Structure 1
Amino acid sequence: MTTLVNYRVEDGLALIGLARPPVNALGQPLRAAILDACERAAADASVQAIILHGAHGLFCAGADIGEFGSEASFAAPDLPNLLLRLTALDKPLIAAIGTLALGGGLELALACGYRISEPDARLGLPEINLGLLPGAGGTQRLPRLIGVEPALDMMISGQPIGAGRAFELGLLDRLASGKESLLDDARAFARELLDQRAPAQRTSRFANPAESVAADFLSQFRAANEPRWKSRLAPRLVLAAVEAACNLPLAEGLVREHELFKEAEASKQSAALRHVFFAEREAGRIPGIEADIPLRRIEKVAVIGAGTMGGGIAMNFVNAGIPVALLEQKGEALDCGLANIRKNYEISVKRGKLTAAQLEQRMELLFGTLDYADLADADLVIEAVFEKLEIKQQVFRELDRLCKPGAILASNTSSLDVDVIAASTSRPQDVIGLHFFSPANVMRLLEVVRGKATAPDVLATTMKIAKRIGKLPVISGVCFGFIGNRMLEPYSREAHRLVLEGATPTQVDKVLTDLDLNMGVFSMLDLAGIDVNFLVRNSNRAAFAHDESYCRLGDELYAQGRHGQKTGRGFYLYEGRNRQEDYEVVALAERLAGELHVPRRPVGDQEIHDRCLFMLINEGIQLLDEGIALRASDIDLVWINGYGFPAHLGGPLHYAEQLGLDKVLAGIQHYRRTLGGYGEMWFKPAALLERLVAAGRARIEKI
């Protein structure tokens, strides 16, 4: 018997333990081992019932994602047929679920006649996050077990549910008394079933799932959710599979599910989402730094600045149980910052995400102070003060004087030179950039900016603590704007220039949101603040002093006090969050175009797409070539998690690969030729892009 499963028989019970670390992924070897073990138990006359469990506690976290899109995914025994065989066994088969049963792991449990779980286990069908649908019977068996509405919710949300909720729904037959007693309780459950002469498979509660919902439920569900799904394929395929469960016998529904799964698996969207999945795992690997490097202890954190950003940063750490000292210059600002943090937690209490007791526990971890001396024992200090180099340098000089040796000193700058900030201290090896995105307590992305002197253990420690507070850390080198904001500059530049040439902000934004970006350029700038964008741009004015034409529109709006949503006027007019086109902005663009001698003309949607996206992609490729980004997939993660680029397109560089690098290069060269002096100045292809196309490469990587 293969070591992928542990097999033993105890007093008429066959115990089959999945033993493929770390998560019992259901690749072909483990599938074959499960089938062999179950056939062995079925053929053994001394075996009366079978218990399937995780040999090391965890049941199964799902399929082997590395197999998707390859022949191995359906190599015999494929998962759907394995599970069909398990449903045909003539002995009770019990899934004893420890820790997790996700995706194919939950489908494996659904194929068993009975299910028992430890109290803290999580169960779910997250395939939609990979652009897929459950493809081994999940879309057919789950609605028959718990009804259409809760089954559809689990599959569309992709979120796992707790064992208690699963028991309420009927997904579980029993809850074990504890984690350690799971197998003992499973044995006792098996004995009960045998004493009762229970059938090998319990009759489904909803033999006809359609009867669990109103006749128009699925059509109403589609109408309510399709606008939110935009162009995403997977939710529509999940819904089609559930419709099959309502309209077809189980055997025919399984065939239809298989067809829909193959369609999803072959889609570009699923390939993009699988790219993102692996990119997130790769982002934590730091070339040249071993995984076992000793890390610095982080037991107390200090945050300088109690404004919106500083307060949000502080919340991340107290949420993880780490005490935080929050420093402000004035008592009023400190009181306001602490009050805003409490208000944010009170909103979570009202929404049922926190209890009142948890709110107080978190507030007790916060210590407000006006005295730098109170930061002397902090292990990690993060400044979140005004984005001006001289101010940040002064803060770091003070930290250098007061903080203990070995403390990590971090700047939350979004664009400034971390090396220059580090040079204002006597310990540049302890300095790093931690660029949180706003709102810092919500946004998942954290750009970790590695200075030229940053010590390896400082980098490794901050990557570790970032994950502890629930962030996705991506390493960037030092340059203006790092990865995200540096790429934002040419993307935003083309949007502004296109409005001067004859497009409107509404037209530009619509092209981008039709691609499923969360926001267009101008609605994003209005939300972030035109004043904020002006100040960032102004600090880097020398980079484009030779041609400031494109940013004149933003400069004029700033001068007029039109700072976006917060002032009710920016590129758009606002009533609350509702925006409408402002013809004064269109008129202003016409006037500026005349002053700058920019010819105006009708601008097509394809040109908007190509100029904005190709310049965004080009800058990303340049960042990779310069070594600012470690890998192309890191750039994709930054733009997906920080700027709303759709994950089902895989990020801007994966999107470029899907379009074809030769097409991107040809587009850039086209506008370089046709846009006159402006094109010659700005549409310069990245040298790496030219090398990749010349070499016939389809993927973006350094060569």
Structure 2
Amino acid sequence: MSNEKNTDTVHVAHRTAATGEIAVLTIDFPPVNAGSTAMRTALMGALEGLEPARLAGVILTGAGGNFVGGADIREFDAPAVPPHLPDIIAKIEALPVPVVAAMEGAALGGGYELALGCDARVAGPRAVVGLPETTLGLIPGSGGGVRVSRLVGEVRAIELVTSGRRVKSAEALELGMIDAIAEGDVVEAAIAHLEKMDGQKRILRELPARPGERQAVEAAKAAALKKGRGSLAVAEAIEAVRQAQTLPVGEALAAERETSLRIRRGPQSRALRHLFFAERAATKLPEGVEPGRVETVGIVGGGRMGQGIALAFAQAGLTVRIAERDATFLATAMKALETAAQDLAARGRIASAAALMERLLPGELGAVADCDLVVEAIIEDMEAKKALFGQLDQILSDDAILATNTSYLDIDEIAAATKLPGRVAGLHFFNPANVMRLVEVIDAEATTGKVLATLVALAKRIRKLPVVAKVGEGFIGNRVFAAYRRQAEFLIEEGALPWEIDAAIEDFGFAMGFFKVYDLAGLDIAWARRQRLAPTRDPKARYVEIPDVLCEMERFGRKTGSGWYDYASGKPVPDPKTEEVIAKEMARKGIEPRTFTADEIISRIMAAIVNEAALLLGEGIAARASDVDIVLVNGYGFPKLKGGPLHWAAAQPREAFLESVAAMADASGHGIEPAANLEAVLKEAEDL
């Protein structure tokens, strides 16, 4: 007979306490006790099987280190199936004895709503609670907004529900979201709390509403809407919290439920759920390969990117050795890191600046000899990188991993400069590296499976989003961004002004207009790349000289006070000098300017982005369409409410979109044609 414990059930046990018999219901649906139809059915069955007349109370808890980690997102596109969570909560509220939620780990979304349906909530010290539904384009659908507002008040409820943030137990206790923190076993603490309740129930829906002061409510609403950037869920969540203060509680609960069910099948929710599953697919480790352990990381290069990478690893608790040949430059880098650490501490992001700096150790190249991983972050020059990798190859152990942070260069060529090319890969961070979530993990031709698995696991450990790509000019993100840049420059040369293009794409939902991004990064960076590629450029291909002219004028962007825009005021302002450069170049080429509508601009830009994505998928640079989506959303400001460029494109009328791609290619000239696999890629994206 097997001794294995049954799972996918709700275990019912009975305990004898000072006040009488207590039923302990344990939800056991690995791995996170998600609120699936099966889980709800089992929980309702367990509740219906209780004999309340024999009980002094009930403890509701979860197995496996979690209470309930939220709803089963895979069921969201299907019709809701009974028993519904509101029915279970109503059953708990109707019990004549108090019910205490004993929460370890995650009590999120429907899990926290379940806890709110109980008469009290006791959490472990590492528990997190919250209502993250808006991050998936939803609002709480089982009374979460109504009940939490009765605990924390209208103003705080607006912030909690619209942000979807996860609240640690200490703050949750302070806010009133939970009633106690367990010092030891959470079930034992919940039983002790139950005994103090003396048989009295505390049903949250019966508590009075807690409307906020009007000015504070309006400020909270404005802040939430600004942060939500057009999120329907945020607007609806605000309305649900407002109704919780103004409607009879039964009507408020019904309205919240109706809204949740209505918007969960809307385009924004589908887009955000697409990104959720895309991230899970991208971060899955290669099968059959065990990742290695990394504890000490070397960073070669103390510039801004190297500093950011160093901070990312140090904040995750790893020891970081920073190597620079120039002692003065190294001292400058360490001073900048110290300032950054102090800023992080002042903002509450880290406990101690001094503790962080103890993990950041400066030195010469030899100082990285004992590192498990070395990340190169020097100038974007092939010969310099090959020379450095040759040196590192000599001083590191054979088990150490060598990674380059190159944005564009051929990693296979870099790896060939070492005696063990299998340990070489790309680890392309985005600037600022300690802030941006995205990391492209580049699987070079010789990279071993173990190295790849180690880097993916390590990226997850430091709370980054790793996306695996193959070697190719610009990998995934910069390859698509180059096509986006090229098309924007074509539009400039045809008569659209930079600020008109920026306005159109910002209205579409991009975080920042292209030319503002260009100025922020520095026009000289792309100029250097264009100069590097000039010898191999197809002379028949269309080339826009306007950015080169701006660079020759030393208009490199924000850092020089002018680029596409003028920054004399500290903010981007349309610049007549830029218009003069554009007009002269158009006249030199004999181009007659035309006007563009915002829709025409978006049509050209999106056609270029999607077509380039199809090309790189056809070349195997990216493994799946959804990888392209999460790279563009997390690294390049593509609006997440649209789910990424391929998810968006797949939802457009097919023939009309294919026509827009053909029109874009025709306007772009020699060398740009619709991708042969475009329809297949759109079909793949449609099926995701």
Corresponding residue for residue 126 of structure 2 = 120
Percent identical pairs in the alignment equals: 37
Verify the 8 A CA contact 1:501 1:603 in the aligned structure 2.
no
Partner of 2:141: 135
Q: Aligned residue for 1:35?
A: 44
* Residue aligning to 1:56: 64
Task: Flag the 1:202–1:143 CA change in 2: closer, same or farther, 3 A.
Answer: closer
Task: Quote how far apart the aligned CAs of 1:221 are.
Answer: 3.4
Once the two structures are TM-superposed, the CA of residue 44 in structure 1 deviates from its matched residue by 4.5
The CA deviation string for residues 330-366 of structure 1, in whole angstroms up to 9 with x for no partner, is 11000000110110011112223233xx221221122
1:210-248 alpha-carbon deviations (Å, 9 max, x no partner) = 2xx113544443344434433221110101111111110
Aligned to 1:325: 321
Is 1:65 the counterpart of 2:73? The answer is yes
CA deviations over 1:462-484 (Å, ceiling 9, x no partner): 11111111111100111111001
2: CA distance, partners of 1:369 / 1:642: 31
3-state DSSP class of the match of 2:53?
coil
Distance 1:594 1:564, change over 3 A: same
- The Cα shift of 1:403 comes to 1.5
Q: Tell me how far 1:20 sits from its aligned partner.
A: 0.3
Would you say the 8 A contact 1:446–1:471 is kept in 2? yes
| Secondary structure class of the residue paired with 1:13 | strand
Write the letter of the residue equivalent to 1:66: R
Report whether the alignment pairs 1:684 with 2:646: no
CA contact (8 A) 1:549 1:596 kept: no
Q: Which runs of 5+ in 1 are unaligned?
A: none
Give the match for residue 606 of structure 1: 599
Q: 1:529 to 1:692 in 2, by over 3 A?
A: closer
Partners of 1:160 and 1:649 lie apart in 2 by: 24
Partner of 1:299: 295
1:139-288 alignment, distance < 5 Å = 139-178=145-184, 181-193=185-197, 196-199=198-201, 201=203, 207-210=208-211, 213-285=212-284
Matched, 1:400 2:397: no
1:20 maps to 29
For the 8 Å contact 2:104–2:186, the answer to whether it is kept is yes
- Matching residue of 1:437: 430
Kindly state the Cα deviation for residue 394 of structure 1 after the two structures are TM-superposed.
0.9
Contact 1:130 1:273 in 2 (8 A): yes
Letter in 1 for 2:112: L
1:692 to partner: Cα distance: 5.8
Amino acid at match of 1:26: G
Contact 2:57–2:199 at 8 Å: present in 1 too? no
Structure 1 residue aligned with 2:469: 476
Amino acid at match of 1:198: Q
CA distance in 2, matches of 1:689, 1:92: 59
1:387 and 2:395 equivalent?
no
* Contact 1:437 1:443 (8 Å CA) reproduced: yes
Match of 2:287 among 286, 290, 304: 290
Q: Which residue of 2 aligns with 1:94?
A: 100
- Quick check: 1:300–1:378 contact (8 Å CA) kept in 2? yes
In structure 2, how many angstroms separate the alpha carbons of the residues matched to 1:172 and 1:227?
Answer: 29
CA–CA distance in structure 1, aligned partners of residues 223 and 468 of structure 2: 39
Normalising to structure 1: TM-score of the pair? 0.93
Match of 1:4 in 2: 9
| Kept in 2: contact 1:476–1:629 (CA 8 A) | yes
Alpha-carbon distance between aligned partners in 1 of 2:232 and 2:158, rounded to the nearest angstrom = 15
Distance 1:380 1:51, change over 3 A: same
In the alignment, is the contact (CA less than 8 A) between 1:128 and 1:234 conserved in 2? yes
In structure 2, do the counterparts of structure 1 residues 417 and 304 end up closer, same or farther at CA, with 3 Å as the change threshold? same
Q: How many residues align?
A: 679
Q: How far off is 1:209 after superposition?
A: 2.5
Q: Please give the alpha-carbon distance, in whole angstroms, between the structure 2 residues aligned to 1:83 and 1:514.
A: 42
Aligned to 2:567, what secondary structure does the other structure show? strand
CA distance in 2, matches of 1:432, 1:339: 30
Alignment partners' CA distance in 2, 1:486 and 1:528: 16
Give the Å deviation of 1:57: 3.1
Q: Deviations over 1:590-646 (max 9, x none)?
A: 110111232311122122101111101111111111111011111111111111111
Cα pair distance change 1:188/1:530, threshold 3 Å: same
8 Å contact kept, 2:7–2:30: no
Residue 366 to residue 225, structure 1, CA distance change in 2 (3 Å): closer
The reply to whether residue 106 of structure 1 matches residue 100 of structure 2 is no
- Write the distance in 2 (CA, Å) between the matches of 1:47 and 1:378: 60
CA distance in 1, matches of 2:116, 2:434: 37
Listed one character per residue, the Cα deviations across residues 239-267 of structure 1 (whole Å, up to 9, x for unaligned) are 11111111101100011101211232021
Structure 2 residue matching 1:96: 3-state secondary structure: strand
Report the counterpart of residue 334 of structure 2 in structure 1.
338
How many Å apart are 1:278 and its aligned residue?
A: 0.5
Matched, 1:368 2:365: no
Q: Matched residue of 1:575: which SS? A: coil
Amino acid in structure 1 at the alignment position of 2:170: G
Native 8 Å contact 2:159 2:220 kept in 1: no
**8 Å CA contact 2:7, 2:28 repeated in 1:** no
* Change in CA separation of 1:380 and 1:192 when aligned onto 2, cut-off 3 Å: same
Rounded to whole Å, the distance in 1 between the matches of 2:14 and 2:353 is 50
Distance 1:98 1:232, change over 3 A: same
- Find the aligned partners of 1:656 and 1:542 in 2 and give their Cα distance: 35
* Equivalent pair of 1:120/1:163 in contact (CA under 8 Å): yes
Cα pair distance change 1:378/1:223, threshold 3 Å: closer
Distance in 1 between the 2:536 and 2:72 partners?
47
Amino acid across the alignment from 1:278:
F
Alignment TM-score, normalising by the size of structure 2: 0.95
Q: Deviation string for 1:82-112 (max 9, x for gaps)?
A: 2222222221111111122111000000001
- The alignment status of 1:425 with 2:414, answered yes or no, reads no
Taking a change above 3 Å as real, the CA distance of residues 54 and 671 of structure 1, as seen in their structure-2 partners, is: closer
Structure 2: unaligned runs, 5 residues or longer: 1-5
Residues 384-421 of structure 1: CA deviation (Å, up to 9, x unaligned): 00001111111111112221112111111000000011
Change (3 A) 1:671 1:174: closer
CA distance change for structure 1 residues 299 and 38 in 2, over 3 Å: closer, same or farther?
same
Distance 1:324 1:152, change over 3 A: same
Which residue, out of 281, 289, 314, partners 2:310?
314
Give yes or no for contact 1:167–1:173 (8 Å, CA) kept in 2. Answer: yes
Distance in 2 (CA, whole Å) between partners of 1:270 and 1:81 is 24
Cα–Cα, structure 1 residues 547 and 564, in superposed 2: closer, same or farther, change >3 Å?
farther
**Residues in 2 aligned to 1:51 and 1:143: alpha-carbon distance in whole angstroms:** 24
Is the Cα contact below 8 Å between 2:47 and 2:91 reproduced in 1? no
Shift of 1:5: 0.8
Q: Distance in 2 between matches of 1:542 and 1:106?
A: 60
Note if 1:659 corresponds to 2:652: yes
Mapped to 2, the partners of 1:529 and 1:453 lie a distance apart of 34
Which is worse superposed, 162-171 or 324-333?
162-171
